[in-house]
Amino acid sequence: MTFRLIFNFIHFIADFSVPMSDPTASFAALEQRETGYSGRLTPKQQEALDAAKVKITAWAEEDETRKAIFLEEKENILKRGNETEDVLVLRFLRARNWNVDVASDLFTSTIIWRRDFQGIGVNNLNESMIQNELKSGKSFLRGVDKVGRPVTYIKVGLHSKSKSDPLELQRFCIYMFEKGRKELKPPIETTTVILDMKGFNLECLDYPFTKFLIDTFATKYPESLGWAFLLDPPWIFKGAWAVIKPWMDAKTLEKIKFLNKREELKMYIDEDQLLKEYGGTDAYVYQYPDPHASEDKS
């Protein structure tokens, strides 16, 4: 019996272990800016960007209605983030390995999705539509990592599948994506996510929403993830991970780090940018509505 427990524990650790990247490498990557980013394109990549923009424009100009939708939604996307059209299109190209046709189709489908989302439209989402999720405190933005990426905290243990409205949860997810985009400061193009697994139980396990989250990140907000840290995953999460893992591509999986000690976060986030409960010095405690800030209705 003891041998079996030890064997299972070793197998559990091995399955969850992901080599920890050197955090200083990210600074070098930003300074050197690997190719594929605005201002750092090879001739072939520039050719792909030009071709994608031509294809997207041709799609938009097939009829006046589509053109109006495209121009309005493109303006909304750029206005709600801190990026140029080239930066935006390059996200889709990198995510689809520079396949112009696939990336362009994904971009245009995202334009339509943003207009039609839940019959509301992404640009029309506001806090009145997600009150229960905001009050839960399960997710919020606070601080930046050592590279300058905005940090999103997700307290998985606060989620209850049976008590959440699936549609409101989806709206909250998109609201948080959009809020994160606003926090990006060029040349930063990605965010860091801390998934706190404290208190995780089967009631927190929500496969439909998890699938929605992963698919939306990959297809509607591609190339937006810098790192995702999973803190203190319990044993019961192993089975869930076996289901969830195949939903992500290899590139995304490389960005996921399993941490057993919260103090390890200080390798990636300076203490003054990290909440006290995670080993930092930031005394911020999430409250909704925030008594120290005006309500964000955008």
Strands of the sheet with 150-155, listed across from one edge: 139-144, 150-155, 191-196, 225-231, 256-259
| pLDDT tens for the 298 residues of the chain, in order | 443 433 343 344 344 444 444 554 554 455 446 899 999 999 999 999 999 999 999 999 999 999 999 999 998 888 888 889 999 999 999 999 999 999 999 999 999 999 999 999 999 999 999 999 999 999 999 999 999 999 999 999 999 999 999 999 999 999 999 999 999 999 999 999 999 999 999 999 999 999 999 999 999 999 999 999 999 999 999 999 999 999 999 999 999 999 989 999 999 999 999 999 999 999 999 999 876 665 444 4
pLDDT in the model for residue 79: 83
Scan for tokens 């040349």, then name that residue: 187
Question: Based on the number of CB atoms within 10 Å of its own CB, is 275 exposed (0-12), middle (13-18) or buried (19 or more)?
Answer: buried
CA distance 218 to 249: 9
φ, ψ for residue 21 (rounded to 5)? Answer: -75, 150
Q: 226 by DSSP, 3-state: which?
A: strand
pLDDT in the model for residue 289: 87
pLDDT in the model for residue 172: 98
Q: Which of 224, 129, 225 is nearest to 121 (CA)?
A: 129
DSSP letter at 204 equals G
Give the max Cα distance, the chain: 71
DSSP H/E element including 170: helix 166-182
CA distance 120 to 113: 10
pLDDT in the model for residue 171: 98
List pLDDT tens digits, range 42-82.
Answer: 999 999 999 999 999 999 999 999 999 999 999 888 888 88
Which pair of structure tokens corresponds to residue 195?
């998934």
pLDDT in the model for residue 28: 41
pLDDT in the model for residue 292: 65
pLDDT in the model for residue 294: 54
Q: Which of 199, 119, 106 is nearest to 159 (CA)?
A: 199
Q: Which of 228, 223, 120, 227 is nearest to 174 (CA)?
A: 120
- Angle at which helix 64-80 crosses helix 166-182, to 10 degrees, equals 70
How many CB atoms neighbour CB 33 within 10 A? Answer: 12
C-alpha to C-alpha distances, 63 to 57, 66, 121, 245, nearest whole angstrom:
11, 6, 21, 41
pLDDT in the model for residue 14: 40
Count the alpha carbons within 13 Å of 254 in the hemisphere toward its beta carbon: 5
Q: Which of 124, 121, 88 is nearest to 107 (CA)?
A: 88
